[in-house]
Amino acid sequence: MARISVFGIGYVGVVSAACLAQDGHDVIAVDVDQGKIDAINAGMSPIVEEGIDDLVREMVASGKLRATIDFAKAIHESDLSFVCVGTPSAPDGSVGLNYVTSVCETIGKALADKDAYHSVVIRSTIVPGSTETACIPVLEQTSGKVAGKDFGVGYYPEFLRESTAIADSYDPGLVVFGFMDDKTGEILAHLNKDMPCPVNKVDIRTAEMVKYTSNTWRAVKVTFANEIGNIAKSCGIDGQTVMEILCSDKKAAMSPYFMRPGFAFGGSCLPKDVRALRHLAAQNDTPSHLLNAVLEANEAQIAKAEKMVEKSGAKRVGFVGISFKPGTDDLRESPLVSLAARLIGKGIEVDIYDPFVKEAYDSGTPGAGRGNESVPNLQGRLVGDLDKLINDSGAVLVGNYYNETVDKLKAAAKTRPVVDLTRLHRDLVSGDGYEGICW
């Protein structure tokens, strides 16, 4: 079993740390936020995620998981470090590396007076070449050591989906990692020896590119499905039926998860990663027409939903969902947040039913409401009772799919306008008071 330190206690960091501890490794979670440190040491998860509360509590109780704000202590009491901090988009659309390089600087300083061999593995999403041109130079400069000789370096991207992250840890569908030195490669191979999918061992740049390719492909598939849905609807055809038939072609190796016409994509990965890959292409004088179109089309899908709401004539709209996807409280680059902000800016009152966002606020979860920069008084707009939301609304906008809401929302469509961005039920098609965005 390995001694592992995980830097960055966000979604990836918390899930990685808890799952590694469950696998029997001794894990130290590290962050600059004392609130997150205290939460984990008290056996509480600082994030909202299916099953994570019980897992963190069990692992802390077992002694396999603990947290600290002391970076040097974490380095000296572990043999392998995972860097799991965020990489938000820079103003020009390039990948933001400030958090990653800052952590690497701190790790390097701790390595300076550590005699034992230590491996530093980046898990944060960074464009090809970033480990070599940004992370390694900082690690070498601050440690006074040579990467690949005095300490190990690797890149090991994650493929976790929020709301199913724990399950994805054990069945990611894809495993890939790159490494400079054999020892780091051997450790990563050991950690993945029981995975139910192929384990791809490649160079670091290839591993970085696979991560961006995967996320960009997901973004492309969402946009493609939306465009087909929009065109199909204009011809009086059900776009979801068209895409379901297309996805039945297993030879094309298409995942049907994203191939479903609906609303815009969002979240902490897809928008910023498409921007970053487009920026990288421009730096290399390589045309990226599709990437430009993906972002333009995604923005157009939000604008389309905005027009649909305005067409209803409602002055008060009840949103069912505000996070970027159901099953999470994450609001980062949520298209529903953008849509709500636009409507509020036009004088339309917006109330919101989102059980996961409300849970985060009600339980005092650190970072509740994170990612929201444009909806004023978000907490005050949250409604816990769906019936009240429907009754008080001139129109209802269905942004996220929750099983418990379907029957009530189908009934509501008989008494008031319902704008559906997610498809409540296959029996519902646009007509009368109900309007589906792509069907």
393 vs 412: CA distance, rounded Å: 10
Q: Hey, how many other C-beta atoms are within 10 angstroms of the C-beta on 320?
A: 30
Do the Cβ atoms of 333 and 300 come closer than 8 Å? no
Do the Cβ atoms of 282 and 240 come closer than 8 Å? no
Q: Which two tokens stand for residue 294?
A: 């993906």
Paired with 395 in beta bridges are 317
20 burial via Cβ count (<10 Å: 0-12, 13-18, 19+): buried
| Integer Rg of the chain from CA | 23
CA dist 102 → 7, 13, 106, 108 (Å): 11, 16, 6, 10
Edge-to-edge strands, sheet with 418-420: 349-353, 316-320, 395-398, 418-420, 434-436
Is 269 catalytic? The answer is yes
| Active-site option among 19, 84, 104, 269 | 269
| Residues designated catalytic | 269
